[in-house]
Structure 1
Amino acid sequence: MAETATARRSRITPEREAELYAAVLDLLREVGYDALTMDAVAARTKSSKATLYRQWGSKAELVVRAMRHSKPGNIADIDTGSLRGDFLALLAREDDCVMEQNSALMRALAMAVHSNPDLLKAFRELLIEPEIVEMRKVLQRAVDRGEIRPDNPAMDYVLHMVIGGFAARTFIDDLPPTQEFLRKYFEAVVFPALGV
């Protein structure tokens, strides 16, 4: 799927692609996934619906690629020399305003993912699975440095913990996630679970 999508998108410049992705995310925030249409994206971006389908194949793939594009980079690209430093650097990549926007998008998509098999498939293939691979690289570096035991059972649940802390902040406290909250969460939950 990734090779096909890359081949399909080859005619769009990186600048135009970024512009399209930003428009998709803006529309998602405004109307939600179910009400978002390729017609609306085409109108907002002054492109044809045929072009959108030719480049991305489906609304689900376009939406998930837009979310992936908005991420500030790969987790594994951060290497401060310590696991604690890597996670804190990860948290520092997005300010509180961006985190609040991303939290709203995730809440909106959480419902749609469970009722739309195409979106769920794209979400897993293009967002979740690459994050799992990246997280494993970060954790393996920590194992190689002797920071965490290779048999630590919490390693299989780090991404669950991170997403859980991010998502649960709004549901439990009726507040958006913030850098301060997530730093405290990592100190109280993630680091102790990993033994760092």
Structure 2
Amino acid sequence: MAEAVATTRRSRITPEREAELYEAVLDLLREVGYDALTMDAVAARTRSSKATLYRQWGGKAELVVKALRHSKPGHGEDIDTGSLRGDLHALVAMEDDCAMERNSALMRGVAMAMHHNDDLRKAFREQMIDPEMGGFHQIIRRAIDRGEVRPDCPAIDFLLHMMVGGFATRALLDDQPPTQAFLTSYIDAVVLPALGAPTS
């Protein structure tokens, strides 16, 4: 009975309203950062009750990570261009340069907050990292099946690390936001050679 009541309550939020809530959460996150973001502020910004927010998402960490997940334009498992290079370039093309710049700054702030927020780190791993790992595993499995990558290639386990590294260190090392041009060049010069995959 309790499960039925919970399901009924959850269904009251329409997909459109959910998207609106997530966008408001991300706006607040950009404005004040994770630590200063409160459920009170989210409730006020979205004209919601705190009770509704807690009932639907459980807490701040879950709400923030769901908002981040919702903002992603697509997932690796949805891509199959027929080549590893094409798949990785298609991943990069999912966001334009403006979106990459905004999301890069946002993710840097969230990454810092994860160092001292166990609940945020746990939610981020479960809802962002693990699904991304699954998508990359599918991309690599297809590349192995096509004969583009050797199944015993030691770099396979570091594909996601390489991709995240190129995205995250662009601002740190070059004081520039990541761009499609930079990331596609990085894929061709670093990621594909490390995997022993064709670069053209």
Shorter chain as denominator, the TM-score bin is over 0.9
Deviates more, 1:8-17 or 1:170-179: 8-17
- Note the alpha carbon deviations across 1:144-165, whole angstroms, 9 max, x for none: 1111011111111110111111
Question: 2:129 aligned with 1:131, yes or no?
Answer: no
Partners of 1:120 and 1:137 in 2: CA distance:
24
Q: What residue is the counterpart of 1:67 in the other structure?
A: 68
**TM-score of the pair, normalised by structure 1:** 0.95
1:115 counterpart SS class = coil
Identical columns (%)? 72
Query: Is 1:8–1:56's contact at 8 Å kept on the other side of the alignment?
Result: no
Question: 2:95 aligned with 1:94, yes or no?
Answer: yes
- Note the alpha carbon deviations across 1:110-136, whole angstroms, 9 max, x for none: 110010000000000111011111110
**One-letter amino acid of the structure 1 residue matched with residue 181 of structure 2:** E
- CA gap of 1:134–1:8, structure 2 versus 1, over 3 A, is farther
Number of residues of Structure 1 aligned to a counterpart in Structure 2:
192
Question: How many Å apart are 1:12 and its aligned residue?
Answer: 1.2
- CA gap of 1:80–1:57, structure 2 versus 1, over 3 A, is same
- Note the alpha carbon deviations across 1:4-59, whole angstroms, 9 max, x for none: x9887433111111100000001000000000000111111110111000000010
Q: What residue is the counterpart of 1:48 in the other structure?
A: 49
1:93-172 to 2 correspondences below 5 Å: 93-172=94-173
How big is the alpha-carbon RMSD for the aligned residues of Structure 1 and Structure 2? Answer: 1.4
For the pair shown, which has the larger CA radius of gyration, 1 or 2? Answer: 2
**One-letter amino acid of the structure 1 residue matched with residue 13 of structure 2:** I
**TM-score of the pair, normalised by structure 2:** 0.93
Partners of 2:7 and 2:128 in 1: CA distance:
15
1:19 counterpart SS class = helix
Partners of 2:112 and 2:158 in 1: CA distance:
22
